Amino acid sequence: MPLQMNEDMQALHQDIVRRNAGEREFQQAVAEVLGSLGPVLSKHPEFRDNRALERLIEPERQIIFRVPWQDDSGRVHINRGFRVESNSALGPYKGGLRFHPSVNLSVIKFLGFEQVFKNALTGMPLGGGKGGSDFDPKGRSDGEVMRFCQSFMTELYRHLGEYTDVPAGDIGVGQREIGYLFGQYKRITNRYESGVLTGKGLDWGGALVRREATGYGLAYFVQEMLRARNDSLDGKTCIVSGSGNVAIYTIEKIHALGGRVVACSDSRGVLHDDTGIDVTAVKQIKEVGRGPLDRYMLLTGRGRHVPGGSIWDAPCHVALPCATQNELNGSDAETLVRHGCVVVAEGANMPATPEAIRVFQEQGTAFAPGKAANAGGVATSALEMQQNASRDAWTFEYTEQRLAEIMRGIHERCHDTAAEYGTPGNYVNGANIAGFIKVARAMVALGVI
């Protein structure tokens, strides 16, 4: 349990653990928020009287369904589908779908819970939710992925709508999957409802910059964190875990802003390239071929691949975990600090364990949680929704400029709120408090619902 929790928060925490028994990730995400909110509830008795925090922790709706599908040889498989609609005080439920074997109710609930705060921080009219399945797309043919997506949507469609719930991608769900999901939604409803999903292809209602948005947004956020320390990305050595959508576009933008990314990773190991990771080669391997990272050496004639190694052993100034939850633990954090790491920002959702966060905060390493630092993806989803609603299509430059402004705004909100509540530089407190106040105010205004 985080040390910072006051007595009320400890009692609430115990209740949450009891009512959500065994849901480790959900308990972890809630505990982190409770650690920040004691002073807010003391200052705002209306939030306490209305039980805004307790209501926010309990998802508005949790949907679990069977997803049967047939593989290419005709064998029947059964997966489990989820959609957790966490909170809709600020707008329709909004958040991605994750297809990965590690998916369970706890994982989706934690992601939905964090999404509520993240979406509030963007300043856009978005509620929060998350969904997915324990389906593993790895090694599956296009036909198998299509049949799975069609079966998944056949059950989920009744819960969706541009004013109700708007999913997007996450781990294992990219433009291919969004295409199959959108096609099935359109077929069942007989409506071309572009605003029901984001992350669409450019030919069928998608928005420029959405693909790049989470990674680009993270790089802009890091730039702001360094600026707040009177520093810059110029010449900084960076490491980025993962090699999926978030990692790829983080590397691309960090390079454009003057930093050098010397390592990235996948489930098989760590790729090092001291001259700077060639992002075109990583795109070729992961976006075109969906293959393993060790092909990098063949493609570029440089770098080295360490099977099974830990990326956090690589010395760096800036560390950006962009793979998945709990991938960076307390001892990894100690190694990073010992090697001189000054900034850590989460591209993935909750990649740093509570112990890791404690190490960073105690050692003076600036640490930004995913709900602030990786909000560029969902913010650009909101821009896609705006374009769909007005049947318009913006340029890359204009959309990217909007994204950069939004990230600067989120940084400022977190930074200023942390200082206002007496913990300057603590982005965890800043994000949790600023996000909570926005949602709680709306919840109080809308009554006990």
* Contacts to ligand GLU by CB under 6 A: 94-96, 118, 168, 170, 198, 349, 377-378, 381
CB of 268 to ligand GLU, least distance (A): 24
The minimum distance between CB 125 and ligand GLU, in angstroms, equals: 13
> Please, which residues have CB within 8 angstroms of residue 393's CB and are 6 or more apart in sequence?
207, 208, 387
Encoded amino acid at 162, one letter: E
Catalytic position from the list 118, 130, 200, 236: 130
Nearer to ligand GLU, 131 or 303 (CB): 131
Closest CB to ligand GLU among 121 and 281?
A: 121
Alpha carbons 90 and 443: distance in angstroms, whole number: 8
Instruction: Report d(CA 107, CA 26) in Å as an integer.
Output: 7
Q: How is residue 133 written in tokens?
A: 């399945």
Q: In this complex, which beta carbon is closest to ligand GLU, that of residue 168 or of residue 316?
A: 168
Calpha distance 170→101 (Å, rounded): 13
| Residue 95 contacts residue 167 (beta carbons within 8 Å) | yes
- 439 class by beta-carbon count within 10 Å (0-12 exposed, 13-18 middle, 19+ buried): buried
Please, what is the minimum distance in Å from the beta carbon of residue 251 to ligand GLU?
A: 18
Q: Which of 38, 40, 90 is nearest to 420 (CA)?
A: 40
What minimum distance in Å lies between the beta carbon of 381 and ligand GLU? 3
The CB-of-85 to ligand GLU minimum distance in angstroms stands at 13
CB of 86 to ligand GLU, least distance (A): 12
Q: Which is nearer to ligand GLU, 198 or 237 (CB)?
A: 198
- 3-state DSSP assignment of residue 22: coil
Q: How far apart are CA 210 and CA 213, in angstroms?
A: 5
Judged by beta carbon, residue 237 or residue 381, the one nearer ligand GLU is 381
3-state SS track over 140-192 = CCHHHHHHHHHHHHHHHHHHCECCCEEEECECCECHHHHHHHHHHHHHHHCCC
* DSSP-assigned states of every residue in 279-317: HHHHHIIIIIS---GGGHHHHHS--EEEET--GGGS--S
Q: Are 144 and 60 in contact (CB under 8 A)?
A: no
* Cα four-point dihedral sign 245, 406, 130, 239: positive
Q: What angle do CA 290, 294, 298 make, to 5 degrees?
A: 100
The answer to whether residue 130 is catalytic is yes
Nearer to ligand GLU (CB atom), residue 32 or residue 170? 170
Task: State the minimum distance, in angstroms, from the CB of residue 377 to ligand GLU.
Answer: 4
SS3 267: coil
Nearer to ligand GLU, 179 or 377 (CB): 377
Name which of 22 and 101 has its Cβ closer to ligand GLU: 101
Which secondary-structure segment (H or E) carries 82?
strand 76-87
Name every residue whose Cβ is closer than 8 Å to that of residue 94 and which is 6 or more positions away in sequence.
Answer: 115, 119, 126, 127, 128, 129, 165, 166, 168, 378, 381, 382
Min dist CB 80 to ligand GLU, Å, is: 19
Known catalytic residues are 130
